[in-house]
C-alpha cells in the first residue's frame, strides 16, 4: 500500500466532522492536497497542507529505517543528543498542562528522574569537556563541523585514557586545534589558548603538548596547511587593503618555488609575507603588530622575513 492509500490519523477538522465518512476511512492524497473518503471517493477537504514525510517507503522495514523523530545525532552533545526531558508545564504534544496537581506531579517525576540517573566518571568528564568545547567554538565562531570533529577526537582520547591526569581545558583546546588542522581551517594554538576560560603562563605549552599526544596516539592524519590560508585573516585584522592579500600570496608562491617554505610554520610564513607585501607598497606595519595578529613571535616574523627577501634585502630591519 502506498503512502496515498494509508489512512491518516489526524485530529478531525470541521469538514471531517460534518462528513458521514468514518474517520478511519479518510486518507490524505499528497498529489492533490485533498482528504478523500475511501468508501465513496468523496473529497472531504481540498488544498490541505500536508505534513507527510518527503520520502517514500513501500515496506514496513523501509519505513522504519527512514523514519526519524527528534533532532539529528551529534557527537558535540552530551549522550549524542539522546536524552529524556520531562517538562513540568507542558505535555509531550506541546500543550500546556492544566491543573496545579498535574504540574506538581510532573515536577516530582522530573526531580526523581534526575536523582535516579547516575553518570559515570567518564560521562561527567565528557559532558564537562563538551560544554567547554562549545564555549570556545562559539567565541571563535568556528563551524559545526569543527565542533563535531573535535568532539569525536575528545571521545576517542577519553576511551584510550589520554585525558587522565591532564587538564580538560588543555585537551579540549588540543582537539579543537587538531580538528581545525584536519579540516584545513586557518587557526593557531595561540588563537585557541586566548579563548580558554582560564589562562596561565603555561597554557599554550600545555595545549601544544596535548596536541602532539593526540596526533601520535590517536593516529590523526593532519594534512599540510598552505600558508596562503592565513593571509586574508592577517590582512583584515591589520586593516590593510585587499591587494596586499594578492601580493603576499604571490610572494609565497615564489618562495615555494625556491624551496624556502619547506618545513616552516604556515602562520609565520603568512605573517612575513604580509609584512613584506605591506613594505613594498609603502604600508608600514611593525613586525610586533603583525606577530600579535598572526599568533606568532616577533622573532619568527623576523626570521621568516629574512628568508623570504633573501640576500638582497637581508640587512633591512623594521
User: pLDDT at residue 31 above 60?
Assistant: no
What global pTM score does this model have?
Answer: 0.61
User: pLDDT at residue 187 above 90?
Assistant: no
Could you tell me the pLDDT band of residue 199, with boundaries at 50, 70 and 90?
confident
Name the range with the highest mean pLDDT among 53-67, 68-82, 89-103, 191-205: 191-205
Percent of the chain with pLDDT over 70: 64
In sequence order, what are the residues at sequence separation of 6 or more whose Cβ sits closer than 8 angstroms to the Cβ of residue 292?
none
How far is Cα 297 from Cα 91, in angstroms, rounded to an integer? 58
pLDDT top residue among 82 and 221: 221
Domains of the chain: 3-66 (no CATH), 78-116 (no CATH), 121-218 (1.10.472.10), 228-312 (1.10.472.10)
Q: Supply the pLDDT for residue 96.
A: 67
Q: Supply the pLDDT for residue 317.
A: 46
User: pLDDT at residue 314 above 50?
Assistant: no
pLDDT top residue among 215 and 117: 215
Amino acid at each position: 500500500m502506498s503512502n496515498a492509500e494509508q489512512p491518516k490519523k489526524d485530529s478531525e477538522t470541521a469538514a471531517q466532522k460534518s462528513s458521514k465518512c468514518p474517520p478511519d476511512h479518510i486518507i490524505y492524497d499528497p498529489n492533490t492536497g485533498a482528504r478523500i473518503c475511501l468508501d465513496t471517493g468523496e473529497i472531504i477537504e481540498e488544498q490541505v497542507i500536508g505534513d507527510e514525510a518527503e520520502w517514500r517507503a513501500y515496506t514496513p522495514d523501509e519505513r522504519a529505517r527512514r523514519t526519524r523523530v527528534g533532532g539529528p545525532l551529534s557527537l558535540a552533545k552530551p549522550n549524542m543528543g539522546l536524552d529524556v526531558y520531562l517538562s513540568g508545564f507542558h505535555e509531550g504534544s506541546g500543550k500546556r498542562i492544566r491543573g496545579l496537581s498535574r504540574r506538581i506531579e510532573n515536577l516530582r517525576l522530573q526531580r526523581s528522574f534526575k536523582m535516579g540517573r547516575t553518570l559515570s566518571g567518564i560521562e561527567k568528564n565528557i559532558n564537562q569537556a563538551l560544554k567547554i568545547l562549545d564555549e570556545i567554538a562559539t567565541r571563535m565562531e568556528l563551524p559545526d563541523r569543527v565542533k563535531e570533529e573535535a568532539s569525536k577526537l575528545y571521545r576517542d582520547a577519553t576511551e584510550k585514557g589520554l585525558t587522565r591526569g591532564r587538564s580538560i581545558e588543555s585537551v579540549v583546546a588540543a582537539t579543537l586545534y587538531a580538528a581545525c588542522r584536519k579540516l584545513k581551517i586557518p587557526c593557531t594554538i595561540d588563537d585557541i589558548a586566548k579563548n580558554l576560560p582560564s589562562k596561565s603562563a603555561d597554557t599554550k605549552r600545555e595545549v601544544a603538548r596535548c596536541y602532539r599526544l593526540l596526533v601520535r596516539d590517536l593516529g590523526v592524519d593532519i594534512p599540510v596547511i598552505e600558508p596562503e590560508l592565513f593571509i586574508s585573516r592577517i590582512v583584515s585584522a591589520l586593516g590593510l587593503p585587499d591587494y596586499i592579500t594578492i601580493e603576499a600570496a604571490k610572494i609565497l608562491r615564489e618562495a615555494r618555488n625556491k624551496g624556502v617554505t619547506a618545513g616552516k610554520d604556515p602562520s609565520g610564513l603568512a605573517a612575513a609575507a604580509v609584512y613584506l607585501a605591506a613594505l613594498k607598497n609603502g604600508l608600514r606595519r611593525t613586525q610586533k603588530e603583525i606577530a600579535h595578529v598572526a599568533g606568532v613571535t616577533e622573532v619568527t616574523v623576523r626570521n621568516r622575513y629574512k628568508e623570504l627577501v633573501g640576500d638582497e634585502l637581508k640587512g633591512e630591519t623594521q
